[in-house]
Amino acid sequence: MNKMKILFLRDQRTPPIDGAGLYLLRVCRVLNVKKIPYLLLYGGTKDIYYKQLKNSNINVKLINFPKETPKNFFRFFRIFRLRDKIKKLIIKEKFTIINTHFPHLNFFLSKSINIPLISYWHGADVINKPIKAFDISLLINFRIRDLLFQIYRKFNVFNFNLAKFVVVPGKASRITAIKKFNVDKNKIIINTYGVDTYNSKNIKTIHKEFNLSKDTKIILSAGRIVKDKGVEEFCELAKKIGSDKIKFIYLGSYRDYKYYQNLLKKYSKYVIFPGNRIDIERFYKSSYLFLLLSHRESAGLVLVEAMNFGLPLIGWNIIGVNEIIKNGYNGELIKFRDINKLNLKVKELLYNKKKYLKLSKNSFANFKYYNIENSTNRLLKIFNKIDN
Helix, strand and coil in the chain, % to nearest 5: 45, 15, 40
pLDDT tens for the chain, residues 1 to 388:
458 999 999 999 877 888 899 999 999 999 999 999 999 999 989 998 999 999 999 999 999 988 877 777 678 888 899 999 999 999 999 999 999 999 999 989 998 888 999 999 999 888 888 877 666 666 666 666 666 777 777 767 788 999 999 999 999 999 999 999 999 999 999 999 999 888 888 899 999 999 999 999 999 999 989 999 999 999 999 999 999 999 999 999 888 999 999 999 999 999 999 998 889 999 999 999 999 999 988 888 899 999 999 999 999 999 999 999 999 999 999 999 999 999 999 999 999 999 999 999 999 999 988 999 999 999 999 998 875 5
Q: What is the pLDDT of residue 1?
A: 43
Amino acid at 306: A
Q: What is the pLDDT of residue 106?
A: 93
**Distance between CA atoms of residues 193 and 304, nearest Å:** 8
Predicted TM-score (pTM) of this structure: 0.87
The backbone torsions φ and ψ at residue 208, rounded to the nearest 5 degrees and listed phi first, read -65, -40
The answer to whether the CB of 312 falls within 8 A of the CB of 363 is yes
DSSP 3-state of 335: coil
Count Cα neighbours of 365 within 13 Å in the Cβ-side half-sphere: 10
Of 201, 119, 47, 184, residue with least CA distance to 379: 119
The predicted-structure confidence for 105-131, as pLDDT tens digits, reads as follows 998 999 888 899 999 999 988 888 887
Q: What is the pLDDT of residue 352?
A: 96
Q: Are strands 246-251 and 271-275 parallel, antiparallel or unpaired?
A: parallel
Task: Give strand ranges (E) for the chain.
Answer: 6-11, 38-43, 60-62, 97-100, 117-120, 165-168, 188-190, 217-222, 246-251, 271-275, 289-292, 313-316, 331-334
The answer to whether the CB of 138 falls within 8 A of the CB of 47 is no
**Distance between CA atoms of residues 94 and 97, nearest Å:** 9
Q: Which residues pair with 41 in a beta bridge?
A: 9, 61
Number of helical H runs and strand E runs in the chain = 14, 13
